[in-house]
Amino acid sequence: MEKELKQFTVSVYTENNIGLLNRISAIFQRRHINIESINSSVSEIESVSRWTIVVNLSEEQMKKIIGQIEKQVEVIKAYYHTEEEIIYQESCIFKMKSDLLFDERQIQNIIKDSNARIVTVNRQFFVIEKSGRKEEIELLHRELSVFGIMQFTRSGRISVSKEEMKISKMLAAFNH
């Protein structure tokens, strides 16, 4: 009876609040749901924060979790979307030995073909940055790892939905 797991991107609009990270992450932790990535930033609305959380779970579970998130006093609204319903980006940076740039000519091509860019180069190392979809980043990682990566890190996902989320209307209604 295992329900099919899907990847969902959750967008949560919240008041700025120190304790909220705790509350939101506890909702996932209690149910043993691993957060794939989480990002918090300002949003299109002044003084409202926007969180983007990526999780793998069944749609049924997802709906229940959205209910639990929205129940938090400081959460204004939460939405969930499948990958097809959003435009998203993730970004990553690689630190690699500078010698490689000269010894391994393909690296230049890989960087070019993958639309990555070199952020900085010095005698010891150079840094590559790439933004894109998950698979693009995974591909670049695979391609570069054969040369040896000194450091790698990848950001949480940020996304916007194709459909309108109507959050501004909701807030406007409150102010009346």
Partner 1 sequence: MKETQTIENKATNTQQTERISGSEAIVRCLLAEGVDIIYGYPGGAIMPVYDELYKYQDKIHHVLTRHEQGATHSAQGYARISGKVGVAMATSGPGATNLVTGIADAQIDSTPMVCITGQVASHLLGSDAFQETDIVGISTPVTKWNHQITKASEIPEVMAKAFYIAKSGRPGPVLIDITKDAQFEEFDFVYEKCTGVRSYKPVPETDIKSVEAAAELINNAKKPLVVWGQGVILSEAEEAFKAFIEKAGIPSAWTILGVSAIPTEHPLNVGMLGMHGNYAPNVLTNECDVLIAIGMRFDDRVTGKLDEYAQQAKVIHFEIDPAEVDKNVKTDVAVLGDAKASLEAILPFIHKNTHTEWHQKFKDLYEIEYEKVIKHDLHPTKEGLTMGEVLHQINLESKGEAAIVSDVGQHQMIACRYAKFNQTKSNITSGGLGTMGFGLPAAIGAKMAAPEREVVSISGDGGYQMTIQELGTIFQQKTAVKIVVLNNDFLGMVRQWQQLFFDKRYASTEMTNPDFVAIAKGYYINARRVTKREELAEAVAEMMASKEAYFLEVCVEKEGNVFPMVPSGASVSDIRLS
Q: Which of 44, 70, 103, 113 binds partner 1 (CB under 8 A)?
A: 70
Which H or E element spans position 11?
strand 6-15
Binding range to partner 1, per CB under 8 A, among 18-26, 87-95, 132-140, 152-160: 18-26
Pattern of binders to partner 1 over 102-141, x per CB under 8 A?
Answer: ----------------------------------------
> How many residues appear in the chain?
176
For 12-43, the three-class secondary structure string (H helix, E strand, C coil) is EEEECCCCHHHHHHHHHHHCCCCEEEEEEEEC
Give the C-alpha separation, 20 to 12, whole Å: 11
42 binds partner 1 (CB under 8 A): no
User: Which amino acid, 140?
Assistant: L
Size of site (CB under 8 A) for partner 1:
20
Q: How far is the CB of 162 from partner 1 (least distance, A)?
A: 25
> 63 or 166, CB closer to partner 1?
63
174 binds partner 1 (CB under 8 A): yes
Structure token pair of residue 40: 């918090």
User: Which amino acid, 75?
Assistant: V
Q: Which of 55, 75, 116, 128 binds partner 1 (CB under 8 A)?
A: 75
Q: Which of 37, 39, 56, 68 binds partner 1 (CB under 8 A)?
A: 68
User: Which amino acid, 116?
Assistant: A
Question: CA of 70: how far to CAs of 23, 35, 51, 63, 100, in Å?
Answer: 11, 17, 13, 11, 50
Site for partner 1 in 143-172 (CB under 8 A): 171
Please give the residue ranges that form the binding site for partner 1 (CB under 8 A): 14-15, 19, 22-23, 26, 30, 63-64, 67-68, 70-71, 73-76, 171, 174-175
